[in-house]
Amino acid sequence: MPPTVRALVALLYATAAATVVVELVNWAYAPEHGFGLAVRTGWALVRSFGFLILVWHVRRGRAGAKPLGLILAVTTVFAVGRLVVPRSGVPPLPGAIGFAVLTALCLAVVVLLYRAPTVGTHLVRHPNRLVLDRRGIGWQEGVPRRPPVAAWTLTARVASFTFPALMVVPALVALGQGELSRLPLVLGWLLFAIVVGNVLLPIGIFLLRDQAWARVSLVVVTVVVLLVDLPMCFYLLGLDGLIRDGGPLLAAAAVTLWGVARSRTTTDARVPRPRAESPLPDTVR
């Protein structure tokens, strides 16, 4: 690997470790250790494994590493930031310092992924697939026959796939409150998250094929998710839950909508314009 790519891998390992350390510090300084804090801390710790998966993609030069790194960095900052700020008072100094370091690491990851030319030329490979040819059955790089997918299309697709998990976390927090009167509403919330996950699967497939209806459908699903999840966070978890759990979802939705808009612009730029016909007769031309 080139030196810049090796530096990116080391940075990803540092970011994964920093995520774990900051979460443990927040847990130690938290005034109370309830079920909600445990769920949110556990989900934030899972992101450290996400950075390790990203390392695997970077080492193999996968083109999907860029959108995965962007959405991991953005949502990690929001997921960790919601735990640094307590319900009342100021954040503890160790937690604030750790959050600042983690934010700087995530920003550096995004800059290297999207601004370093060496990294860009390295992340060009596609996932392997099982093929059958004259030599028999084997695995080889599955280069798609369709035109290359815009990077922002991949970003929108990856960002939208985080919607179900970002809805399940606050729903589990509300479920842990143990209010039986709200149990049907919470179960409906969980069911809605499952439905959204199944709806996004075919949309993501046709989004990579540059289908216009898939882009429109993704925008509609994103808006519906926000209209359902944000009011549910506020009603079941209050203003604190709206900020802590609605914030990461709002960030993922913003990345999704921005990716759809940028992918449409990129697609239009690739379409060649028809050459205007000359008004002169063929004999004159």
Contact 1, 44 (CB under 8 A): no
* pLDDT bucket at 278, cuts 50 / 70 / 90: very low
- Closest listed residue to residue 15, CA positions, set 62, 66, 52, 58: 52
* Residue 189 neighbours by CB distance under 10 Å: 22
16-30 pLDDT, tens digit per residue, is: 998 888 888 887 777
Cα gap 11→106, rounded to integer Å: 9
Contact 140, 203 (CB under 8 A): no
208-227 pLDDT, tens digit per residue, is: 787 889 899 999 999 999 99
Give the orientation angle of helix 183-208 with respect to helix 151-160, to 10 degrees. 160
Q: Which of 10-24, 70-84, 193-207, 271-285 bottoms out in mean pLDDT, i.e. has the lowest?
A: 271-285
Strand partners, 128: 141
- Any idea what DSSP says for residue 180? G
Q: What are phi and psi of 139, to 5 degrees?
A: -100, 135
What is residue 129's predicted lDDT score, i.e. its pLDDT? Answer: 59
Dihedral sign for Cα atoms in the order 98, 100, 103, 109: negative
Note the pTM of the prediction, 2 decimals.
0.72
Helix, coil or strand: residue 101 = helix
77-119 pLDDT, tens digit per residue, is: 877 777 776 666 667 788 788 889 989 999 999 999 888 888 8
> How many residues belong to the chain?
285
* pLDDT bucket at 266, cuts 50 / 70 / 90: low
What is residue 269's predicted lDDT score, i.e. its pLDDT? Answer: 47
What is residue 86's predicted lDDT score, i.e. its pLDDT? Answer: 67
Helix, coil or strand: residue 136 = strand
* pLDDT bucket at 275, cuts 50 / 70 / 90: very low
